[in-house]
Structure 1
Amino acid sequence: MNCKSSSMLKLVFFLFLISGHVISQQLTKQEAIRLTLENNFGILIATNSIAVAKNNKGILNSGYLPTLTGNAGANYQSANSTTSFGGAINPNTGEPRSDIEIEDAETQRYNAGLNLNYTLFDGLGRFYNYKRLKEQYNLTKLQARETIENTILQLFSIYYEVARLSENVEILEETLRISKERILRSNYQFEYGQNTKLNVLNAEVDVANDSINLLNTRQQLINTKRDLNVILDNDLTYEFEVDTIIKFIPKLELEEYLSKSTENNITLLQNESNIRISDYDIKVSKSGYLPSIGLTGSYGWNENRNPPSAFFPGNVSDTYTLGAGVSLTWNLFDGGNTITRVKNAKIALDNQEIIKSQIEKEVKRDIANALGNYENRLNVFKIQQQNVITNQNNFERSQERFKLGQITSIEFRQAQINLILAETNKNSAKYDAKIAELQLLQLTGQLLNIEF
């Protein structure tokens, strides 16, 4: 009994090893999106760019806050001095006055102060520059959204390629199984004199070809999974299975997206943001025509410690100062720099308006092309679905007739090849149609708003 149990455990373990693909983790579309948003290098860089733009648009970078500067200092001086009286007579003693020598006379000076500066008015340049920084932040978010959309589209291009190859592997595995059964049947028939050795050789050649096709497709699948792991920032050896179920968006919902495409297209939104930034640039440049008014304030403390001299005793003096002022600066003529900046800013705005007209036409063209491609590929997929049904029926009938000896092995093989092509073409058409749908959704600005 123990021997039987041990043998059974060994058998289970063996089946477990040869069926390693069964334990592969299922990588759903939602999980793939989550990993991409969290780990993809391009998205992480775009996220950091948003953080920088957010810092730039903050109140600390607006110019609306005052500046407060503190300063302090200390000076020390030690001196030796000798005072001579040039033969002068001391009236008290009647003798020549002696020299006065002072050694290590220390002089100390200390100061500290605070200076406050605040701009009350700068020709509205600060006001419009602050608005410009906010709009730059919005533009950065749009650019990050574009990066995310492109990355998601790249993700699903590879994800669906993995799905296509996975289904093709299953088709080729089934094809190889049927071809191996055909060898066994051909060998039995040859042994009983029902066919020639040529039929056996043909079956062996077909098995070899099917094996090669299966090996090549499996290797393509392995390589494509590595590509997907790079997008997800997974370990390159991470093994997984993907979801091969495809759902297309209903026509009415797609028409609604198309009707709002000009409002949500990322390229048009970025262009509109650039137009607003160019308009703010003009207003910032015009601020150079107006005066600037500022407030200043200061508070200071000074202390001097003087040593005694030949004629005066040492002393300590402390001084406290408090000051405030208003300043007005008006650059009446700056050599034409302000005029030049305003003119160039207006030209830049005009360029953005021209670019807008170009982008609007290009977006309409791209959406029309994408819609045409999507509808065409969807129709091709429907035709391929029916083609698979037709070839499946043809193959099943051919298989029965081949078993009865009513058709040759060549005719059977042709029916098998036709079925393989129909099934693989259907897989390609299915995923091509889905990718075309995603490209259309990206152009309408809805790629990040749908459920995959």
Structure 2
Amino acid sequence: MKLTSIQFLVVGVFVLMLPFCATAQEEVLSKSEAIALTLENNYNIAVAGNTVEIAENNADLLNSNYLPSIFGLAGANYSVQDQQTDRDDGQSFELNDARSESYNASLNLEYTLFDGLGRLYNYKSLKENYNLSKLEARETIENTVLQLFSVYYEVARLTENVEILEQTLEISRNRVKRAGYQFDYGQNTKLEVLNAEVDVTNDSINLMNTRQLLQNTKRDLNVVLARNLQAGFAVDTNVTFIPKIQLESYIDLAQENNVRILQSESAITLSEYDIQSSKARFLPTVGLSGSYGWNESISPASAFFGGSTRQTTGWQGGLSLRWNLFDGGTSITQFKNAKIAKDNQELLKQQIELEVERDIANALGNYENLVDVFEIQEQNVITNKNNFERSKERFNLGQITSIEFRQAQINLINAQTNKNLAKYEAKFAELQLLQQIGQLLNIEF
């Protein structure tokens, strides 16, 4: 069934008013609130936090081997034997079911007084592993924040595009109404009405598709926030850029703050501790031991002695020294490999520094280029707005055709959506630059 002009008008009104019914109660999710929710709920960040907690537990004094080992021992032995003893005088002595019993219990202490400083460097290595795990968690947080704003800014872009398409649909709807009146009074042909109706249909479909894409992207953002997928919200579409002078000061400190460089430095420190730990294998180990024990033994009678019960209690202490003068070359091999591993880490650091320098240069170039594109697109919107307003006046005066008016309208739509895209691409490029120079988590959003 062919739709009339009035029906097209009703469809346009319905499509235009639908978002106001759906989003009227939605609160704005600010950037800072989005970050807070992500840090609190995001699963990747939670896993990274647990990993840091494990590393912190490992770096505790309780896991350092600096504390003594205290343990208890207890035991019992019971035996039943038949004994026969032949004496020199020709007599023999037999004892059947001779029972022997012994019981013991002790509290023992063992402590390593000196192990060639191996324990010291192992403890330092655990501390450095904790520091490295915090750097890895920071990298996870940075990547997650970038993921967050990649989706957040896409929601913002689509939100602004929806507003543009709603305004476009309103203009096209009014055009259908005007063309209908003009046709009724014989001022134009049915073709003008049909063209206006086609444009309303196309604008309605574009708006519906963009709204659906917006809803899908909002669900993507809720996944990053790790909350109910159906949670409704609006986003902040305001964008401000960091002053150039401030960015330059950040870039000057990039080598000190980039997380990849810091991780490589931590890996070199761990390699140094491994070398020191391997050196400790060439030195002696001195240990201290002590115990307090109780022993009881019950012996049966024999050919020469009667049965007896014996109990002993007391302290016992000892000092031990162990020095591996030669272990088949294992310690020497381990020491050599530890030095090679450190050399590898230093080479990797040089490679990472070169890559980071390149990444910063690329990120800065992309950011500056996209900011320039955004400024050009802003001017392009102004130009197309002026062109559209003039075309609208001339169309109302009958000086241009509906096709020419529609082209001016499409040009304005493209200019506005391209400006939105350029704005959020430039801002996201700025965040990527901030990550490379190690400042992403130090700025206010």
> What TM-score do you get using the length of structure 1 for normalisation?
0.89
Equivalent position SS for 2:392: helix
- Which of residues 276, 281, 287 is equivalent to 1:288? 281
Distance change in 2, residues 1:249/1:17 (3 Å): closer
Amino acid of the residue matched to residue 122 of structure 1? D
Amino acid of the residue matched to residue 191 of structure 1? D
- Which of residues 426, 440, 443 is equivalent to 1:447? 440
Distance 1:120 1:170 in 2: 75
- Deviation digits for residues 198-256 of structure 1 (CA, Å, limit 9, x no counterpart): 11111111111111111111111111111111110011111110111111111111111
Aligned pairs for 1:387-398 within 5 A: 387-398=380-391
Equivalent position SS for 1:19: helix
Aligned pairs for 1:264-413 within 5 A: 264-306=257-299, 314-413=307-406
Distance 2:328 2:254 in 1: 48
How many pairs align? 427
- Which of residues 41, 45, 50 is equivalent to 2:52? 50
Distance 1:17 1:176 in 2: 13
Contact 2:95 2:302 in 1 (8 A): no
**Are residues 1:132 and 2:125 paired?**
yes
**Are residues 1:261 and 2:254 paired?**
yes
- Deviation digits for residues 136-166 of structure 1 (CA, Å, limit 9, x no counterpart): 1111100000000000001000000000001
Equivalent position SS for 1:406: coil
Equivalent position SS for 2:24: helix
Equivalent position SS for 1:407: coil
Which runs of 5 or more structure 1 residues have no equivalent in the other structure? Answer: 1-14, 90-98
**Are residues 1:233 and 2:250 paired?**
no
Contact 1:102 1:309 in 2 (8 A): no
Amino acid of the residue matched to residue 27 of structure 1? L
Residue 117 of structure 1 deviates from its aligned partner by 1.3
Residue 114 of structure 1 deviates from its aligned partner by 2.0
Residue 77 of structure 1 deviates from its aligned partner by 5.1
- Which of residues 428, 435, 442 is equivalent to 2:428? 435
Distance 1:62 1:80 in 2: 53
**Are residues 1:176 and 2:178 paired?**
no
Distance 1:17 1:303 in 2: 89
> Which residue of structure 2 aligns with residue 40 of structure 1?
42
Contact 2:169 2:204 in 1 (8 A): yes
- Which of residues 3, 22, 27 is equivalent to 1:25? 27
Equivalent position SS for 1:72: strand
**Are residues 1:194 and 2:196 paired?**
no
Equivalent position SS for 1:333: coil
Contact 1:115 1:296 in 2 (8 A): yes
Structure number with larger C-alpha Rg = 1
Distance 2:272 2:94 in 1: 78
Equivalent position SS for 1:71: strand
Residue 398 of structure 1 deviates from its aligned partner by 1.4
Distance 2:307 2:366 in 1: 97
Distance 2:95 2:132 in 1: 76
> Which residue of structure 2 aligns with residue 74 of structure 1?
76
Distance change in 2, residues 1:419/1:17 (3 Å): closer
- Deviation digits for residues 239-286 of structure 1 (CA, Å, limit 9, x no counterpart): 110111111111111111011111101110000000111111111111
> Which residue of structure 2 aligns with residue 162 of structure 1?
155
Distance 1:171 1:18 in 2: 14
Residue 322 of structure 1 deviates from its aligned partner by 2.0
RMSD: 2.4
Equivalent position SS for 2:132: helix
Distance 1:159 1:251 in 2: 24
Equivalent position SS for 1:23: coil
Distance change in 2, residues 1:64/1:154 (3 Å): same
Distance change in 2, residues 1:426/1:17 (3 Å): closer
Q: Does 292-301 or 175-184 show the bigger shift?
A: 292-301
Indicate the percent of aligned positions where both proteins have the same amino acid: 64
Distance 1:219 1:252 in 2: 41
Distance 1:116 1:449 in 2: 50
- Which of residues 59, 62, 78 is equivalent to 2:61? 59
- Deviation digits for residues 54-91 of structure 1 (CA, Å, limit 9, x no counterpart): 11111111111111221112334567999999xx99xx
Amino acid of the residue matched to residue 317 of structure 1? R
> What TM-score do you get using the length of structure 2 for normalisation?
0.90
Amino acid of the residue matched to residue 174 of structure 1? Q
- Deviation digits for residues 169-193 of structure 1 (CA, Å, limit 9, x no counterpart): 0100110111111111111111111
Which runs of 5 or more structure 2 residues have no equivalent in the other structure? Answer: 1-16
Distance 2:63 2:85 in 1: 60
> Which residue of structure 2 aligns with residue 10 of structure 1?
none
Contact 2:121 2:273 in 1 (8 A): yes
Amino acid of the residue matched to residue 46 of structure 1? A
Residue 25 of structure 1 deviates from its aligned partner by 2.4
Q: Does 301-310 or 264-273 show the bigger shift?
A: 301-310
Distance change in 2, residues 1:133/1:84 (3 Å): closer
Distance change in 2, residues 1:421/1:112 (3 Å): same
Residue 429 of structure 1 deviates from its aligned partner by 0.6
- Which of residues 137, 142, 146 is equivalent to 1:144? 137
Contact 2:78 2:101 in 1 (8 A): yes
Distance 1:168 1:273 in 2: 46
Distance change in 2, residues 1:442/1:312 (3 Å): same
- Which of residues 395, 411, 415 is equivalent to 1:422? 415
Contact 1:123 1:287 in 2 (8 A): yes
- Deviation digits for residues 318-355 of structure 1 (CA, Å, limit 9, x no counterpart): 11142211111111111111111111111111111111
Contact 2:82 2:94 in 1 (8 A): no
Amino acid of the residue matched to residue 210 of structure 2? T
Residue 197 of structure 1 deviates from its aligned partner by 0.9
